Amino acid sequence: MHTAAELIELIEQTNSFDYWYDNQIIVACELLQKLAQEEFDFLLTSWQRRSDDWNLRFASILNCRECFETAETLAGIIHIGSYRTASIALVELAGFENIEILRKIKNLSHILDSFEIKFFDRINGSSIDREVLEKLRSIIFLRE
C-alpha cells in the first residue's frame, strides 16, 4: 500500500515542470489512485500548507482520482492560488467527466467569479481560461 508521504515526496522533488509533466505525472497519478482513504484524506487536508509550485503539481493530478473531495480541493486551489496554479486547477476541474460532482461544489459560481475578477482584469487571463470558465458555468447553471 502506498502512503501520502510517498506522493508528497514525489511532488516536492525539485525537477523542472517539463520533467514533472513528461515523467512524474503518470507515477503520481498511480500513487494517488492507490492511496487508502485515510492517506488520501490526509493529503487533501495538507495542500494549504504547501508552496504554490507544490500545489500546481498537486492540482495537475487531482482529476486522476475523480471524486467530490478532489473537485472541492481543486476549487479551493482556484480560489487562493496564483494565476498559473489556479489556471491548472481550473482546467483539471473542467476535465471531470462526472458533472454531478461539479454541481455539488458549494460556492463554485462565486469561486469562478473571483478567478475572473482577480485575473482577467490583468493581462494574465487567456482565451483558454475564458473557455474553461464558460464550460464550468454552463454546468453550474444547469443545476440552478
77-89: per-residue pLDDT in tens? 999 989 999 999 9
Spatial separation of the C-alpha atoms in residues 12 and 41, rounded to whole Å: 18
- What confidence tier does 17 reach under pLDDT thresholds 50, 70, 90? confident
Spatial separation of the C-alpha atoms in residues 38 and 106, rounded to whole Å: 23
pLDDT at residue 15 tops 80? no
Spatial separation of the C-alpha atoms in residues 63 and 19, rounded to whole Å: 20
Residue range 106-119, pLDDT digits in tens: 999 999 999 988 88
The arithmetic mean of pLDDT across residues 96-104, rounded, is 93
Name the burial class of residue 14, with classes exposed (0-12), middle (13-18) and buried (19+) by CB atoms within 10 angstroms of its CB.
Answer: exposed
- Domain residue ranges in the chain: 4-143
Check residue 64 and give its pLDDT: 95
Spatial separation of the C-alpha atoms in residues 2 and 35, rounded to whole Å: 6
User: Please, which residues have CB within 8 angstroms of residue 101's CB and are 6 or more apart in sequence?
Assistant: 66, 67, 68, 71
pLDDT at residue 66 tops 50? yes
